[in-house]
Structure 1
Amino acid sequence: MEANRVDHLLLHFFVIVVGLTAILGKLIELPADQLVAWRTLAAAVVMGLVFYRVRFFRQPRKVILSYLGAGGVLGLHWLALYGAIKVSNVTVAVAGLSSAALFTALVEPVITGRRHSKLEVAIGGVVMIGLGLIVGFASEFGLGLVLGVTSALLAAIFPSMNKRFVDQGGNPLVITFHEMVGAFVVCAAVVLGRGEPVHMPTASDWLWLGVLVVLCTVFAFWMHTWLLRRMSAYTAALALSFEPVYAMVLAALFFGEHKMFSPWFYLGVVIIVLANWCYPVARKRQAMRQSAE
C-alpha cells in the first residue's frame, strides 16, 4: 500500500516523539544501561497488561526468536544512544544518529532483498558531509559522537528487520512486545556483566520513565511498525534524520545546549535536513523518467 500525506504527517509526529526520548534520557538520572533495562522491562509489562488479549506467544519458535533478535539490536542501539547522551549531551548524540539514512541505504536492501538505490546512497552521502561538519566542529565530544554513529548503524539494521517482519505479515503489537523483551534481556545482561549496583529509579525518574515507556516506546514503536506497512524502511529512516533538528530544538529549550556549538556545527545539521527535503523530489523525478522510458 502506497503511503499518503497523512501517513507522512504521522511519520513526522513519530519522529518528534522519538526526539523527545533524548530529552528524557538526559532528565533520567540512571546510568545508560540501567535506564534502557528499566525502559524495556516496563514497556514489555505495559504491553502485556494493555494488550493481554493479543496472542503474543502463539507464534512459531523461529519467528519469536527473530523478533527477540531484532529486540537485541534495538537494545544495543539504545545503549549506544543513551551512552552518548550521558558522556556528552543530547545535541552531540542525535547529531551522530543522523547518519542512519546512509547506513539504512546500504543495509535495508541486504536484509529485505530489494535492489540498492544509487539515489539513496547519494543522499546518504550528502548526509555524511553534514555529519563531517558536525564531527569537525565538535571534536571535544569524540566519544559521544562515536557512540552516536554506532547507534545510527544499529538504528539502520533494526527498522530494516522490522520491514521484513511486517512484509511477512507480522502483527505490529506482537513484534514490538517481543522486541521489548529481547532488548531487556540484552540490557539486563550488560547491567549484570558490569557488576555495578542496580539503582532503583527516584520519584522523578519514575515520572519520566512513565512518559518514556507509554508515549515514546509502546505507542511510538507500534506506530513505527504500522507505518512500515505503508512505506520503505529507508523512507522512515530518512524522516528520522530530522530527529536531530527536533531534539536540538528541545535541548536548546530545556538545557540551553545551543550555546555550546559554532555556526559550522549547525551548518552540518542544515545540510542533513536539506538532503531529506531533496530526496522525495529527486525520487519523484527519477520515477517519472523511468516511466517515460
Structure 2
Amino acid sequence: MPNYTVLTEFLLMGFADRWELRFLHSMLFLLMYSATLIGNLLIVTVTTLDQDLHTPMYFFLRNLSILDMCFISVTVPKACVNSLSDNRAISVAGCASQIFLVVYCVYVELLFLTLMAYDRYAAICQPLHYPVIMNHRFCVQMTLASMLSGLFYAGVHTGNTLRLSFCQSNVVHQFFCDIPSLLRLSCSNILSNLLLIFVSAIFFDGTCFVIITMSYCCIFSTVLKFPTREQGKAFSTCVPHIIVVSLFLSSGISVYLKSSVSSDAIQDMILSVFYTIVPPFLNPVIYSLRNKQIKEAVRKVVLRKFYSKHI
C-alpha cells in the first residue's frame, strides 16, 4: 500500500525567484488589473445610463464586461499578494474555488463572444429581421442559459479533478490553480480527466468556433457587397472581435489539451496570461476606444455629472 499524505494546501508558482523581479511582475499585473476594472466598469456604467445603448450588442457587451471583471479578479489579486509577500500557499478549498471560477468564466466568456458574433451576423446579414431575431427576451434567455449551464460545466470539471489523490509534490506549476497543473500532481489514473477535457473541448469549443467562423464568413461575404466606405467601417468592428476570440481560444486550448505529464511550466504560465488576463484587459480598449457610440456616451455622462454638480 502506498503512503498517501492528505494535502491541506498547495504552493503556487511565483512570477520569478528574485524579489525585485517579483515586484516588477506584480506591479505590471496590478496595473493591468486596475486598468481592466476601470475600463470594464466604465463600459457597464455608460451602457446602463445611456438609453441609446440599450441594444442587444451593448447588452452582451455589458454582461461581458461584468464577467471580465470577475474573471480577472479570480487569479490576479491572489497571485500578486502571494508574490509580494513570498507566501505561495493556497488552501485546498481556495484552489478548488479558483478551478471552479476559472472554468466557469472561460465557459461563459466563450458563449458571450459567440453570441456577440451571432449578433453581428444578424445586424449585418439580416438587418430587416434583426429586431425580431435579437429581441430582448432572446438576449436575456441566452444570457441566463449561458450562466446557469456554466455552473454545471464548471462543477463537473472541478469535481472530476478534486476526486483524484495527490501523493506527489504540492507545488502547482502555475500562478493560479488550474486543472492541467493539478493533474500533473496526481498519482491517480487521470485517463477519465483527460478524456473529459478532450471531449468537452472538441464539442463545446469546436461548436462555438464553428458558429463564430460561419457568422463571420457570412458577414464578410455580405460586407464585400457594400460600398468601399461602409466596408471599412464594418471590417473595423469585426476584426478586433476576431483577434480577441482567436487569442482566447488558441491560448486556452493550448494549455488544456497539452500533455499533462510533459509540459513546460513557464510556457504554460505565459499562455495562461493570454486567456485569463489579456482578453479582459483588451476588451474595453477594443470595444470603447474604437467605438464612437461609447465615446459619445462617455462624454454625455461626464457632462451630465459636471452640470449636476454646478447647478
Please, what TM-score do these two structures have when normalized by structure 1? 0.31
Q: Pick the structure with more helix per residue.
A: 1
Please, what TM-score do these two structures have when normalized by structure 2? 0.29
The structure whose Rg is larger is 2
